[in-house]
A and B are shown apart, each in its own frame.
Chain A
Amino acid sequence: MKVIVAIKQVPERDAQVRVDAAGKWIEESGFQWSMNESDAYALEEALQLKEKNGGEVVVLSAGPERVGSTIREALAKGADRGIQVESDGLGDWDALGVAKLLAEAARSENADLVLTGLQSDDLGYGQTGVIVAELLGLPHASLILHVEKTDAGLTVKRELEEGWFQSIELPMPAALTIQSGGNKLRYATLMGIKKAKTKEVRKTTPAELGVTAPAVVTLNQIAQPKKQKTTQMLSGGPKEAAAALVEKLKTEARVL
């Protein structure tokens, strides 16, 4: 069973984000990057499928040179080889454009399964994986927690609202977007890192893949949310004050 996992490199979880001068992207210098969380779960699912059924896990990522470190990380955790679509200018590509890159890079691999994380931790479109499926003409399901290979194809566990789950059967090949938390992630090891050094990472470019998608969706501006602190004193006795508080929590803060 050959599984392709598309992963994205995103700013480290605790990174302090600043908007760059143009106001269209974040200031990248001095930044630490890591693997998008739900992609890490997609990778884990792929590795477990391989451990159970044999086969190969290929990681695929698009981005500038720095993305190579995240591919290495995936190789260190047990993926067999990597494909990097290298380009410095993907920052303002929309989900469709990136999906085209990933789909084209994946196409010739003829994988049995294409996995991605549900959404990225930075932009959070939640579309890329689904569009890739569409472009490759594969059946797909999203919000997947667990994948099992059956004789007929796949049985997957999908997360619904309020603690409900759905079990779906799909034929193979297929594409799935994986939800965080379905598995326990494995930790990276020194041995894995050393082995990863000798694993193959094939590099390609958007031009080589023949993708020059002009963005359909353009990003105008990004901004930090404004910090606001407003203190309101509620008057009256405990009873009235409590009532007023509940009202405000409902209508103004909208947390109830």
Chain B
Amino acid sequence: MFSLHSTLAEPAGFQLWEKFLFSALIATSAWLFWQRFGVVLKKIFEAKKDADFRLAPLGRRVWDFFSEVMLQSKVIKQRPLPGLAHAFVFWGFCAFALVTLNHAAVGFGIGFLSPDGLFGRFYFYFAAAFALTCAVGIAGLFVRRFLVRPRWLGEHLSWESGFIAFLIFALMVTYLAQFFVPEGSTAVHVLWWAHTLTILVFLPIIPHTKHLHLVLSPATVFLSRGGFSQIPPLVGDEDFGLIAGTDLTQLATLQAYSCVECGRCTEHCPAANTGKALNPKEIVLGLRGYLNEYGPKGEEPLLGKYNSQEAVFQCTTCGSCEFQCPVGIEHLPLIIGMRRGTVNTGEWDDEHGAKLFLALERGSNALGIATAERDKFIEKAALPLFDGSQEYCLWLGCMGAYDPKGREIVADFARVMRYLGTSFGVLRKEKCTGDPVRRLGNDLVFQQLAESNLEAMTRAKVKKIVTICPHCVRTMAEDWKEFGVAPEVEHHSEFMARHLDRLPKATEKETVVYHDPCYLGRYRNVYEQPRDVVRAGGTLVEAERHGERSFCCGAGGGLAFLGEETGERVSHVRAAELAATGAKTVGTACPFCNSMFRDAFAAQGESAPQLVDIAQLTARRLPEVTTSATQ
């Protein structure tokens, strides 16, 4: 009875009452769609404008759109199988747009794609191919969600997702079936109506569910700020960060409504994975809940019913969430924004936090140690002072200047520079770059530190900076921009990688597992240089999570200076993962990571691998010199 035709069968014509019914149904469906979508759109437009928004560089936006939306690159890359299934559904939808338009037009007797015409015939087949992959894709996603049930999709089964999957599947099947039914039969008619009804039911569901991302996320990706963890400047005298609905900008609102609840952010979040209250997906959904209840003109505090202060201050700012999010949501400006809102107004009451802020208000470093100790170290390690004649200013950072292990790393890196014959000097006075206060949302102290350092550098005529600390690099290169132009700055891994051919090679190769610091990898896109440095001195092994998926050490976001964590310690989880590779040595490239693992491995006792910075790994191969001192 059914057989494949050379093209798809379309109904020959419709009764007048059918046309009326169809019109009425379209109107109802569109009305139901608008009922919700109009509300969301209104909230987005009512929200505060993003003062720092620039459309330029347009090229970047177009590319992001093409790559992340059209090609689904991020969706596929970060979760290949479900990603591909999703991509097929998406491409199917795109290919279907024309078919659907024509389908509706046929209802009014004005179809424009003729099944017999050359283009029509081609296009219907073309769409059929996509319909097939789309049907397979959605079936796959259904199996994953309802049978495999990955943890990060949430504990509750979402029946609406199941229903949506069913509708998409039905859409494809009712389309494909049109190739098999005899032309002019009632079956053609029935299929047309089935397909139509599926579409008209699907449409209003979109804005009422997370499928809103179908409509919003292309815009979200296109409009995203672009820079990683880009924290918008505060505008005017009344802006202290995100305190209430009135502080949520249009971008923040758009992002809150775009979340597709995929849980990728949570899957990679060190806080969520170690039993803390923080869950980045819930942060975004919390904002959405807030906007639903109070709207962008809401005066209620954001931290309260929908998001908690506790959670917001558990973030290490590792950036995994922002890096992973397939719809362009930027978590860090949101999380740090809410921190700003409570810190800038003095609402955040935390003993350790206050101590850190006071140390940086009154003193020069985050560790709260007298600067005289820094001078002593400089003298002991015989580091030359920067006088404007040297090529590099070697920036010590708080850890490099005051932490015993940090000092060893600085001294060893200085040996490497000396060996290479690169001239360098250290500043007599250096203040914390402001990284911890920036991430904790203390704009006052951050500004003071940034300005005072920028001034000192201009005075000293610093042209190039190199430092052992990725946090310093990031803060100088990006966060200081608001207050002036910092000299060119690079991380010691970049410096050493460039000069590898002039450094001695290792004779004996040990196995080294390299830990990517968040602020070097995701924040700066430097993955290969430190690995090159490791490879020159050992055999590189990789931890299970590495590169852009590296798992945080737990120190970032100012957390190194706050009190005890709740739940499991992030550093212990990561240290165990590094040790599990069986590598003899753990290579770090950040003094904060180093100090976190130092404590974690100390708890492990004898069996722990040795822990060295990649500068130390390199310095070991240098011929002994008598003048160097460490402590």
Q: Which A residues have a C-beta under 8 Å from some C-beta of B? A: 12-14, 34, 184-194
Contact = CB atoms under 8 A, between A and B. Distances in A.
Interface in B368-400: 370-372
Contacts of B346: 186-187, 189, 191-192
Contact of A185 (B343, B353, B358): B358
B443 interface: yes
Given A13-B370, A14-B371, A194-B237, A187 B364 contact: no
B240 A191 contact: yes
A12 B234 CA distance: 29
A190 B341 CA distance: 10
A194 to B, nearest CB: 5
B70 interface: no
B362 interface: yes
Interface in B350-372: 351, 353-354, 357-358, 361-364, 370-372
Contacts of A184: 351, 354
B187 interface: no
B370 A187 contact: no
Contacts, number: 48
B351 A188 contact: no
B72 to A, nearest CB: 41
24 contacts: A12-B362, A13-B362, A13-B363, A13-B370, A14-B364, A14-B370, A184-B351, A185-B358, A186-B346, A186-B354, A187-B354, A187-B357, A187-B442, A188-B361, A188-B444, A189-B343, A189-B346, A189-B442, A190-B344, A190-B345, A190-B442, A191-B240, A191-B346, A193-B444
Given A14-B364, A14-B371, A184-B351, A189 B345 contact: yes
Contacts of B442: 187, 189-190
B445 interface: yes
A188 B357 CA distance: 8
A255 to B, nearest CB: 20
A14 B402 CA distance: 14
A189 B444 contact: yes
B408 to A, nearest CB: 24
Residue in A13, A189, A192 whose Cβ sees the most chain B Cβ within 10 Å: A189
Nearest to B344: A190
B358 A187 contact: yes
Interface in B277-296: none
Interface of B: 234, 237, 240, 343-346, 351, 353-354, 357-358, 361-364, 370-372, 442-445
A14 B354 CA distance: 20
A190 B363 contact: no
Nearest to B357: A187
A189 B364 CA distance: 18
B361 to A, nearest CB: 6
B341 to A, nearest CB: 10
Nearest to A76: B444
A249 to B, nearest CB: 23
Given A187-B346, A187-B358, A189-B344, A14 B443 contact: no
A12 B240 CA distance: 28
Contacts of A187: 346, 353-354, 357-358, 361, 442, 445
A14, A188, A190, A191, most chain B CB atoms within 10 A: A190
A188 B445 contact: yes
Contacts of A189: 343-346, 442, 444
A187 B436 CA distance: 15
Contacts of B443: 190
Contacts of B344: 189-191
Contacts of A14: 363-364, 370-372
Contacts of A192: 346
Contacts of A191: 240, 344-346
Contact of A34 (B234, B362, B370): B362
Contacts of B370: 13-14
Nearest to A194: B237
A190 B444 contact: yes
A67 to B, nearest CB: 17
Nearest to A192: B346
A193 B234 CA distance: 14
A191 B347 CA distance: 11
Contacts of A13: 362-363, 370
A192 B445 CA distance: 12
Nearest first, the 5 A-B pairs at minimum CB distance are A187-B357, A14-B371, A190-B344, A190-B444, A189-B346
A184 B350 CA distance: 11
B1 to A, nearest CB: 76
A226 to B, nearest CB: 17
Contacts of B371: 14
B342 to A, nearest CB: 10
B362 to A, nearest CB: 6
Nearest to B448: A188
Contacts of B240: 190-191
A184 B353 CA distance: 12
A194 B445 CA distance: 14
A36 to B, nearest CB: 11
Contacts of B343: 189
B445 to A, nearest CB: 7
Given A184-B354, A189-B346, A190-B444, 5 more contacts: A186-B354, A187-B346, A187-B445, A188-B444, A194-B237
B363 A185 contact: no
Most buried by B among A34, A185, A188: A188
Nearest to A195: B237
A74 B351 CA distance: 20
A196 to B, nearest CB: 11
B445 A185 contact: no
A189 B344 CA distance: 5
Nearest to B356: A187
A193 B240 CA distance: 11
Nearest to A35: B362
Contacts of B362: 12-13, 34
A74 to B, nearest CB: 13
Contacts of A194: 237
Nearest to B342: A189
Counting chain A CB atoms within 10 Å of each CB, the highest count among B234, B344, B351 belongs to B344
A14 B371 CA distance: 6
Contacts of A193: 444
A85 to B, nearest CB: 24
Nearest to A185: B358
Nearest to A32: B452
Contacts of B354: 184-187
A9 to B, nearest CB: 13
Nearest to B238: A194
A13 B362 CA distance: 7
A14 B452 CA distance: 15
A5 to B, nearest CB: 18
B64 to A, nearest CB: 33
A14 B401 CA distance: 15
B385 to A, nearest CB: 13
Contacts of B353: 187
A193 B346 CA distance: 11
Nearest to A37: B362
A184 B356 CA distance: 12
Contacts of B364: 14
Contacts of B372: 14
A95 B370 CA distance: 29
B339 to A, nearest CB: 12
Nearest to A187: B357
A218 to B, nearest CB: 31
